[in-house]
């Protein structure tokens, strides 16, 4: 397993040898390979939507999100963008976001899975959970193996006559 901190430390702490005589040459061991930045940290986009059946349609600020027109999301005829966040996910360090209904969304990068075939993309194991105000758990733990650029959703929390729909997209 490669550790980014070790690789950075090993690369940055190179001792420069000084020869006592010009005739003596010193060899430096090659620096260990560094972990790719996306193996330790990735960017993720979180969209927080309010789904209702008030007949207003899909908020144009949401952009292209074809999943909203398919079940189970097609059960709602209106979606409003409440918030769009860019967050940095570091491997093993959860990022928290307060939701409009007072709950807290926790998202974490668990692992980066190398492609099994040459033409397949890497996959990102991302976990998400939602804690209601007062400490009770709405969503104990959802773990998704996602491709970059692909949304996955967490939905179902009641909010102002509708439900919250949270889209999470990995964008390394």
Which residue carries 């000084």 as its tokens? 18
- What pLDDT is attached to residue 39? 61
- What pLDDT is attached to residue 89? 93
Instruction: Calculate Rg over the CA atoms of the chain.
Output: 22
Which residue carries 């980014």 as its tokens? 4
What does each of the 172 residues of the chain score in pLDDT, given as a tens digit? 322 222 222 222 222 222 333 333 334 444 444 444 446 789 999 999 999 999 999 999 999 999 999 999 999 999 999 999 999 999 989 999 999 999 999 999 999 999 888 888 899 999 999 998 887 888 788 899 999 999 999 988 999 999 999 999 998 6
- E strands of the chain, at which residues? 41-52, 57-58, 78-90, 95-98, 104-113, 123-131, 137-147, 151-159, 162-170
The answer to whether 51 touches 160, Cβ cutoff 8 Å, is no
Which residue carries 């979180």 as its tokens? 46
Report pTM.
0.74
What are the tens digits of pLDDT across the range 32-69? Answer: 444 444 467 899 999 999 999 999 999 999 999 999 99
Tokens matching residue 141:
């733990």
């Amino acid at each position: 397993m490669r550790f980014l901190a070790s690789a950075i430390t090993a690369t940055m702490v190179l001792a420069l040898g000084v020869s006592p005589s010009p005739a003596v040459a010193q060899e430096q061991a090659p620096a260990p390979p560094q972990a790719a930045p996306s193996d330790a940290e990735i960017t993720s986009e979180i969209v927080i939507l309010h789904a209702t059946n008030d007949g207003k349609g899909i908020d144009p600020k949401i952009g292209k999100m074809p999943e909203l027109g398919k079940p189970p999301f097609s059960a709602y005829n209106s979606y409003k963008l409440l918030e769009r966040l860019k967050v940095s996910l570091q491997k093993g360090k959860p990022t928290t976001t307060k939701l409009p209904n007072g709950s807290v969304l926790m998202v974490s990068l668990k692992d980066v899975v190398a492609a099994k075939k040459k033409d397949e993309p890497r996959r990102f194991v991302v976990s998400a959970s939602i804690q209601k105000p007062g400490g009770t758990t709405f969503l104990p733990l959802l773990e998704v193996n996602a491709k970059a650029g692909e949304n996955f959703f967490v939905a179902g929390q009641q909010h102002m006559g509708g439900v919250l729909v949270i889209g999470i997209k990995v964008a390394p």
